[in-house]
Amino acid sequence: MSVKPTHFTSLSPTPSISMAFSSIIAVLLLFLSSPFIISFVASQSAAKTFIFRIDGGSMPSIFPTHYHWYSTEFAEESRILHVYHNVFHGFSAVITPEEVDNFRNHPAVLAVFEDKRRELHTTRSPQFLGLQNQKGLWSESDYGSDVIIGVFDTGIWPERRSFSDLNIGPVPKRWRGVCESGARFGPRNCNRKIVGARFFAKGQQAAVIGGINKTVEFLSPRDADGHGTHTSSTAAGRHAFKASMSGYASGVAKGVAPKARIAAYKVCWKDSGCLDSDILAAFDAAVYDGVDVISISIGGGDGINSPYYLDPIAIGSYGAASKGIFVSSSAGNEGPNGMSVTNLAPWVTTVGASTIDRNFPADAILGDGHRLRGVSLYAGVPLNGRMFPVVYPGKSGMSSASLCMENTLDPKHVKGKIVICDRGSSPRVAKGLVVKKAGGVGMILANGASNGEGLVGDAHLIPACAVGSNEGDRIKAYASSHPNPVASIDFRGTIVGIKPAPVIASFSGRGPNGLNPEILKPDLIAPGVNILAAWTDAVGPTGLPSDPRKTEFNILSGTSMACPHVSGAAALLKSAHPDWSPAAIRSAMMTTTNLVDNSNRSLIDESTGKSATPYDYGSGHLNLGRAMDPGLVYDITNDDYITFLCSIGYGPKTIQVITRTPVRCPTRRKPSPGNLNYPSITAVFPTSRRGSVSKTVIRTATNVGQTEAVYRARIESPRGVTVTVKPPRLVFTSAVKRRSYAVTVTVDTRNVVLGETGAVFGSVTWFDGGKHVVRSPIVVTQMDSL
């Protein structure tokens, strides 16, 4: 079966180009004798995939295309994997590290970086975001109709009802994408809902010994993992039909933007992750195809805090954002540790995860009468109150046995018992399978201190529930001290109306920004815990090979689930305001967020039970009921981003790695990174400064509300800090739509107490006396250069 190239233009020259090319072969011999030409006589065992960022303007005029230049002067045609045209100029190729060294001083090579592997950040939520039928943003945007969301993930399972094109209009004429053919996937699998589907496998094929495992994967856009189907339907799944996962979370299924179109870009592969070379190829294709929004729930790996010029996701997303495409990314699942947030580029909207007001309680009942709170999505035969002996295999502390790793449980000790397993080192559901193989009848999965009290539901294969760290310690103490410890698990189904909600998920990536603390990350939070969405038919709900169950929907947790909520939200805002830039759309979301839960109290950090801070939630929790009409927005142009890159010490050549085109930095006065027109404000003071110090940042607000408007500032100064705003009043007219103001932060470093997070927090809010309340968080911290 033939597979189309994974980018929008063929890597092979056409016959007409080949004829023209042969006529200048004598001239090319000069290049072939160049010391930069790669010889592939070297040992193939040392070859790796490298990504080359090339100055496209340096191509000699004798070459008809960049491809001919690359394949003649840099690498043999058979070694080139992808050629990049739109987000930047360059290519990826399989060569040896020694050969790469020959290129580092080539005048046309701007940067070279090794291909890195990244990870996935793995139907009540739309209402929880403030979306309501027949009014508000849904109706104003026609449910996102004709906006195209490109989802970079594991592909899509097109037969799901969430992707039906019933009553959806024709594909927008501007769309230039394709529906690539491959294993169990062809043009018929696309429709007016799934307008395009591509797959990018060349990087994987080169990196994985033996290539992609076709016994567990489809060499096509078809989803063998489930993650991509889930995120696609979260962002833009159709609505108005009943949905549940084995009876849990029953209700009406709908994505955030039910009429938006989906373009699936398969860049991640089951059991082998996602490679930068393939991700960049997807960015290149998506820009050409004509998407409006890109949703990428991918990150981490070795490049979690790589400089922007060495981070292909940052480079690809800049190329997209510079063309007016909104890019939403996940904040990562390494929380609650500080500085764990990933996807830090200021042109990307970075999304953390929160709970919603729905839960799946399952209680661990002990023989001494105590009932301890937990969660589960187990849908098999219940225990019906029957008590079983309970055992903890880690009596001497955490070990392979306490973690219930493969082949660590002695059947003599666990047969017929409920086993307490520590969370970590292996998939949560896989631990239950280990217990089952050893003869156990059930499992209580206990969080460690790092996970705290944060709980996520899993579709376990045996009766099992997850409990927090405190409850886990109590159960372990009972099992070790009681002469005849017994327990049972009570599965209580689905409960809606849980308070408090939202709560910041314990796993959600946290600030401060590990690259440039002047830019607050994450930007905001959205639902990412126990989210119901469509699922693949290739694997069961646990994703384990031994799970034979099939389900149309599954319930997952992670910032991967939060990201597509914001992608769908961006589609709605783009449909309602087609002239808004990606920065304006992000600003509308960030300045209208919620800072209180459904108990009208400050947002809580799930890991500690204490009040959360902007390092946990950014600007706050997404509220689309207000984002459609924010009043003011903070817009950012491509030139503004270039100025920001100059301000953090990048030179013109380094910036060109990101921007594709040559740039100039100011020579008279170095700009300040804090002056990027971001919707949040962070004042960073060096730790060496003592006494009273001040810092001033500038912001420019654009009026997108009523033509004649007057806004007044309300300041909430951080503890021990003085904040002033000049002018304190902004007047907008039909002739004046933009107004700038200065925020001056003054702190006495001898007296201010920065607290556990190393920062104090406040805000500046502009209000017009009516419905518009435009809030920007203020973070004040002391930190030396990172």
What single DSSP character describes residue 222?
B
Catalytic residue among 146, 153, 289, 363: 153
**Residue 612 and residue 757 in contact, taking contact as beta carbons nearer than 8 Å:** no
As a residue count, the chain comes to 786
Catalytic residue among 82, 85, 227, 577: 227
Rounded CA-CA distance 313/315 in Å is: 5
Q: What is the four-CA torsion angle of 236, 141, 130, 712, rounded to 10 degrees?
A: 130
* Longest alpha-carbon distance in the chain: 90
Rounded CA-CA distance 635/740 in Å is: 12
Taking residue 449's Cβ as centre, other Cβ atoms within 10 Å add up to 10
Catalytic, 560? Answer yes
Please state the φ and ψ torsions of residue 104, each to the nearest 5 degrees. -60, -25
The dihedral of CA 282, 284, 286, 288: what is its sign?
negative
Please work out, in degrees rounded to the nearest 5, the angle formed at the alpha carbon of residue 583 by the alpha carbons of 632 and 234: 105
Q: In Å, what is the CA distance from 153 to each residue of 213, 233, 267, 294, 660?
A: 18, 12, 6, 11, 25
Please state the φ and ψ torsions of residue 273, each to the nearest 5 degrees. 75, -155
The structure tokens listed for 408 are 């660590």
Q: What is the four-CA torsion angle of 150, 156, 159, 164, rounded to 10 degrees?
A: -20
Catalytic, 153? Answer yes
Among candidate residues 57, 60, 85, the one with its CA nearest the CA of residue 73: 60
Among candidate residues 674, 681, 687, 691, the one with its CA nearest the CA of residue 747: 691
The structure tokens listed for 556 are 């997952």
Which pairing describes strands 261-266 and 148-153: parallel, antiparallel, or unpaired?
A: parallel
Catalytic residue among 162, 233, 469, 560: 560
Estimate the share of the chain in helix, then strand, then coil, as percent rounded to the nearest 5: 25, 25, 50
The string of DSSP codes covering 474-522 is: HHHHHHHHSSS-EEEEEE---EES-SS-SEE-TTS---S-SS-TTS-SS
First-to-last C-alpha distance (Å) of the chain? 51
Q: Which residues are catalytic?
A: 153, 227, 560
